[in-house]
A and B are shown apart, each in its own frame.
Chain A
């Protein structure tokens, strides 16, 4: 996909400030926030697009500065892209990404997990959908055992031979060096 970059540069009135969970402030062009349905709704509700409205910093308590930096990189790149339209949500062998996206998402799975949660929280459909498709493609062609490793899923419940008490439940490990995040309400029990 290609896009033309206009020559106009953002003015201070067209910015809002967001604050990450670790207290770092980011100045965001309102144009960029259009890609995030969460931010766009917030701006619309508080009339931040009006020049005479005082723009208080928006706290994003669930997003770290590193995640915000990565998100802004995405928003900047897609600044002049047409509005995202969801096409085929099913598996496709012919799906390709532009080189920039491949490089951008050439990150470890655990970082991808955090970015997906951030994209879900901020409701950035293009990023969310892209990560979902890349994650699905990382599973392609793997056996159940290999998938277990990639997704860090433990084996089913086994009872202790002496006490009969379950030793472990299958779940993704929380001891894998992940930073603690709670971007959205706790995942419902599956």
Chain B
């Protein structure tokens, strides 16, 4: 056999051979291959070798793209330095800490990549056109002024989770929050939410709304909303769920006040 440099020129193999090798790689290695160059990205994309169940985005201390794999493992690209500066909201050259499950495997940065490019890369190689759920546990610095752009960037398709314990002064950003409520999601979950107003409820356009809060909505507001809803105010909405923050708590709500003047049937517990 020939002597020479100990490298394996993978890209010189016929496409079928390439597929066989990539198929046998661990999921995170396939993803790493897609980051090597445009050609390897195109190889991984065109051979349809990367599969996932769903892609979510989580905005916590770091912003992360979470890819749920068919093996029920999770690949996470976490960006510590995304959206930390107000004067440069979408910086290039952000570093991704790529991990599989609990184990961090490598750090990668593509100099030209902004967060949007990373997301497009992930969606492209996994053959998806949008993110299933976006979870906000904190607001991005420019959320109030650029909510549309943010949603356009993060591209949630079905679910939005807003868990904003520090977002006390909601009135200041109520217009931007209404922009979010107006989106046609399958489900929107408001967690740790306080002071849900009638206007908030009336602009909600998702099929299912879940509100978890320790402070229960005022019964009169709820009663008025249900009457509006019956009259056709929220055409897409099918279910409204209101519950305590914790599953172990009980909701203390005056049912009679909520349902006053509304024809209704009480469903027995065992049928729920």
| A positions within 8 Å CB-CB of B | 66-67, 70, 89-91, 107-117, 120, 128-129, 132-133, 135-145, 147-157, 169-174, 176-179, 184-185, 187-188, 190
Stretch at the interface among B33-41, B131-139, B206-214: B33-41
Cβ contact of B32, chosen from A135, A138, A144, A155, cutoff 8 A: A144
User: B105-148: contact bitstring with A at CB < 8 Å (1 yes, 0 no)?
Assistant: 11110000000000000000000000000000000000000000
Choice from A110, A142, A187 contacting B6 with Cβ under 8 Å: A110
B16 (CB) vs chain A CBs: closest residue: A120
B36 touches A147 (CB 8 A): yes
Among candidates B24, B35, B36, residue contacting A132 with C-beta atoms closer than 8 Å: B24
Counting chain B residues whose Cβ lies within 8 A of the other chain, the interface size class is 35 or more
* Selected contact of A108 from candidates B6, B18, B24, B29, CB within 8 Å: B6
Instruction: Give chain A residues whose Cβ lies under 8 Å from the Cβ of B2.
Output: 66, 110-111, 114, 177-179
Of the candidates B2, B21, B39, the one having the most CB atoms from chain A within 10 angstroms of its own CB is: B2
**Beyond A132-B17, A135-B21, A148-B37, 13 additional pairs, beta carbon < 8 A:** A90-B24, A110-B9, A113-B9, A133-B24, A139-B25, A141-B29, A144-B106, A153-B11, A154-B37, A169-B39, A170-B37, A171-B39, A172-B10
Nearest opposing residue in chain B for A186, CB measure: B14
A-B contact pairs, 17 of them (CB 8 A): A91-B27, A109-B7, A113-B9, A113-B12, A117-B13, A120-B14, A135-B21, A141-B105, A143-B106, A144-B35, A147-B29, A151-B9, A156-B37, A170-B39, A171-B39, A177-B2, A177-B5
| B15 interface hit (Cβ, 8 Å) | yes
A120, A148, A178: the one contacting B9 at CB < 8 Å is A178
**Residue from B9, B16, B33 with most neighbouring chain A CB atoms (10 Å):** B9
CA distance A176 to B13 in the complex (A): 15
Contact A136 B17, CB 8 Å, known A148-B37, A154-B37: no
Asked whether, in the complex, the Cβ of B106 is within 8 Å of the Cβ of A190, the reply is no
Q: A109 contacts B1, CB within 8 Å? A: no
**Bound-state Cα–Cα, A66 to B3, Å:** 12
A112 to chain B, nearest CB (A): 6
Is B26 an interface residue when CB atoms closer than 8 A count as contact? yes
Q: Which residues of chain B have a CB within 8 Å of any CB of chain A?
A: 1-18, 20-27, 29, 32-33, 35-40, 42-43, 46, 105-108
Contact check, B29 vs A177: say whether CB atoms are below 8 A apart: no
How many whole Å from A111's CB to the nearest CB in chain B?
4
Residue of A nearest to B34 (CB): A144
Those 3 A-B pairs whose CB atoms lie nearest each other, nearest first: A177-B4, A172-B9, A143-B106
Whether A177 pairs with B3 at a CB distance below 8 angstroms is: yes
**Chain B residues within 8 Å of A113, by CB:** 8-9, 12-13
Of the residues B16, B17, B25, B35, contact of A91 by C-beta under 8 Å: B25
A153 near B6 (CB under 8 angstroms)? Answer: no
Give A115's nearest chain B residue, CB to CB: B1
Let me know if A142 and B29 touch, CB within 8 A. Answer: yes
Contact of B24 among A109, A112, A136, A169 (CB under 8 A): A136
A120 CA to B6 CA, complexed, in Å: 21
Complex-state Cα separation, A150 to B11, whole angstroms: 12
Chain B residues within an 8 Å CB radius of A188: 14-15
The residue on A at minimum CB distance from B42 is A190
Q: Which single member of A66, A147, A187 contacts B14 (CB below 8 Å)? A: A187
Give the interface centre of A108, A133, A141, A190 by most chain B CB atoms within 10 Å.
A190
Q: Indicate whether A140 sits within 8 Å of B5 (C-beta atoms), given known contacts A113-B13, A129-B20, A153-B37.
A: no
Cβ of A147 and Cβ of B15 under 8 Å apart? no
Complex: chain A residue closest to B31, CB-CB: A144
Most buried by A among B7, B10, B17, B38: B7
